Structure 1
Amino acid sequence: EQVHSACPSAGTSMPPATMEPGTTPWSTGLFDCAEDHGVCLLGWCCPCIVVGRMAEILDKGETSTGAGAALYMAIGVLSGWQCQWIYSCVYRTKMRAQYGLQETPCPDCCVHFCWLESCAICQEYRELRNRGFVMDIGWHANVELQRQQGHSDGSIVPPATQHMI
């Protein structure tokens, strides 16, 4: 996997051996907010909540939603809202590594910096939700939900998704 020097590495794990890195298309497009007004509104008005929820899921519970949201907010406030995109970019890179997602339409940091930050985080939030995560209950509750649905090992087994072209 190519690492872009403009974006800090997140120490991501490799996707499962059956998944080729960077070959899976995103389940929604970068500008598909019109299809999901609730996520769009949350991403534009309270991006710290969106990033915090994603951080908890992608870090498998090691980062709480509150801690992820607070860190995003702190970076934004301390940088005059000029550098918070770096934190969210780390999670886009991590998500792509975990799920073998394509690096489109451009490198991760360009998506967050050059494109609209809110569109990027909304796309990432939708991707996790489309992979079977209930975004507002956190990692541990998602694991418990999966266990109750018959996945006794506690692993998250997202449903197959239809990919938009």
Structure 2
Amino acid sequence: MRAISVLKAGHWPPGARASDAVALDFDHRHRRRVLLTTEAGREILLDLGETVRLGDGDGLVLESGGIVRVIAAPEAVLDIHAQPAVLLRIAWHLGNRHLPVQMLEGALRIRADHVIAAMVAGLGGHVHARAAPFDPEPGAYAGAQAPHGHGHDHGHHHDH
């Protein structure tokens, strides 16, 4: 089977239903061409014209007309909690390091990283390690992907 296009979550045609699903972690949801195995054990060739960031709930449209739902697979993440002003400061530091971040209700989620966990604790945040889907913000430059991956110039200065 071959998947030739993507239906974004929330934009499926009325009455459209998935016949199967494929669970992918964050690193495997930014693809153009790859062989995938569905939950039912079927192989699907994802064969798109350009690289697409697949999100939880997206649908892979099969050449035969069926749809396979994309599921954000649980992976090792850190949920970060803090008072609003502290959480905002932590968010700035995460952004300064170009880390992918998922916004939650009153919290932030990042991929597990012990060095960043120590930084967050040092800034006054609380880190809760868990296994959960990771679906970070695509970023302001997501629509204009550059060959190096995130579509903006690194000529500006960062203190690392």
Report the TM range for the smaller structure's normalisation.
under 0.3
Q: Identify the structure with the greater helix proportion.
A: 1
Query: For the pair shown, which has the larger CA radius of gyration, 1 or 2?
Result: 2
TM-score by length of structure 1 reads 0.23
* Structure with higher RCO (Cα < 8 A, 6+ apart): 1
TM-score of the aligned structures, taking structure 2 as reference length: 0.23
